[in-house]
Structure 1
């Protein structure tokens, strides 16, 4: 009990200083995040050597480990994936093309808390889309548990949400053709929606309702998120620095809802899968 009182006093003292900065008319900041997703290397009945598993993991690394920047002010934010050069050998082959298509969903994400607006610019097979939806609020449960993240006191919150999916789960290596037609058809399987628990850690020392990706709605900036096999960790924060940027509402692309975009992505992946199966049967599974 005594420890909790001391923690709250420290937070209150810090908030007095922070609130002065937040109250500034042109308050803005940047938070930098690292995202890491682990991949289940269980291939069922398939006999795959450890060397092959390592090769698959190396190819998928650029899609499983990413860095992002969240620019934010009192009511808006823009979450962007940092651009980086692809390592030679990563993302190649049919499996790489499937993963690249899935990665097309990772465009810049704009959130406006005041207008309850979510926008995301996506490019899919050369066509630009603008996902236009209302912000979806999670039913956060506060636990009162705290921990230190860098110089910030972070509070724990949990919520249940539908698991994030790209609509399909391509098997590593992609379709390879051959006589087993059923095996080729199974190379891409639809994923059933399921609920997962999200754990978030936020700090009231930066009292904005923002966070990475679609996560928001807590009484402070979200510094850490754990959802299923994905973790997002904040590595650096800048407040009212010379490196701040003006947040501009996206406008490029055909306007669609998230549901409509998911349907389009699913259809395109089905077409892509059928095309690869045809090539594999004709060409003996050449890469």
Structure 2
């Protein structure tokens, strides 16, 4: 734990030297069917002396997938915006696969995060309507561990949480989320709603999904990030309830 504390202290000492404006690009990868148990075993807390090998095997599962989607995280000192980046050259020969990846990656959603208020706004397009879901970064109770790993050239620490998932069946599940964040990049931002950690999130594993940083650019000029305000205000539970009602009627 001392290793983690020292890293966080270093983060506080160097925060003023970092540009607070920039763009991070993430890739979304989807593992093949039937790999959930293997992924779960490789993301367990105690990987012992084989943690480097375990992470390498984990990456191999996802890298065997031939297609990925890109997302962009824009940020300034106070806010961030995470959204899907549409590619004009996506191979649409396999339309079913492309549609599945878009659905699994939540490409129809945008996430706005206010660092000071800890508010998260998720703008979702569903059945031709735009919805706005408000939550807080405190809703994800991260367990910070002392386990570290060098990823993309950054010394990262492992954080674990369990995220509620509202299913179309009406049930509620809890999905394990493993995030690797870099205290040397003193930004509390990350992909989707995986924010609030003491360092930029470099990589995330959630069930059979992987989100990984591919590019990070800092800019000197202050960039304006407009809050998400458009949409019918609702909750995730009510949105799924409306979707179930629509499916029964059609």
Is the TM value for this pair above 0.5?
yes
RMSD: 3.5
Q: Which residue number corresponds to residue 36 of structure 1?
A: 29
Q: Which residue number corresponds to residue 267 of structure 1?
A: 245
Q: Is the 8 A contact 1:203 1:221 kept in 2?
A: yes
Tell me, in whole angstroms, the C-alpha distance in 2 between the residues paired with 1:61 and 1:266: 33
Per the TM alignment, residue 266 of structure 1 is displaced from its structure 2 partner at its CA by 2.7
Range with bigger deviation, 208-217 or 105-114: 105-114
Per the TM alignment, residue 241 of structure 1 is displaced from its structure 2 partner at its CA by 5.2
TM-score computed with the length of structure 2 as normaliser: 0.72
- Counterparts in 2 of 1:13 and 1:106: CA distance versus 1, 3 Å: same
Q: Is the 8 A contact 2:160 2:178 kept in 1?
A: yes
Q: Which residue number corresponds to residue 78 of structure 1?
A: 81
Per the TM alignment, residue 258 of structure 1 is displaced from its structure 2 partner at its CA by 2.2
Structure 1: state its 5+ residue gaps. 43-59, 169-189, 275-287
Range with bigger deviation, 221-230 or 190-199: 190-199
Tell me, in whole angstroms, the C-alpha distance in 1 between the residues paired with 2:15 and 2:94: 45
- Counterparts in 2 of 1:156 and 1:126: CA distance versus 1, 3 Å: same
Tell me, in whole angstroms, the C-alpha distance in 2 between the residues paired with 1:209 and 1:215: 9
Per the TM alignment, residue 29 of structure 1 is displaced from its structure 2 partner at its CA by 1.7
Secondary structure of 1:19's match?
A: helix
Work out the number of aligned pairs and report it: 220
Mapping for residues 100-249 of structure 1, pairs under 5 Å: 106-162=108-164, 164=165, 167-168=167-168, 190=169, 192-240=171-219, 245-249=223-227
Structure 2: state its 5+ residue gaps. 36-64
Q: Is the 8 A contact 1:202 1:220 kept in 2?
A: yes
Higher CA-based Rg: 1
Per the TM alignment, residue 225 of structure 1 is displaced from its structure 2 partner at its CA by 0.8
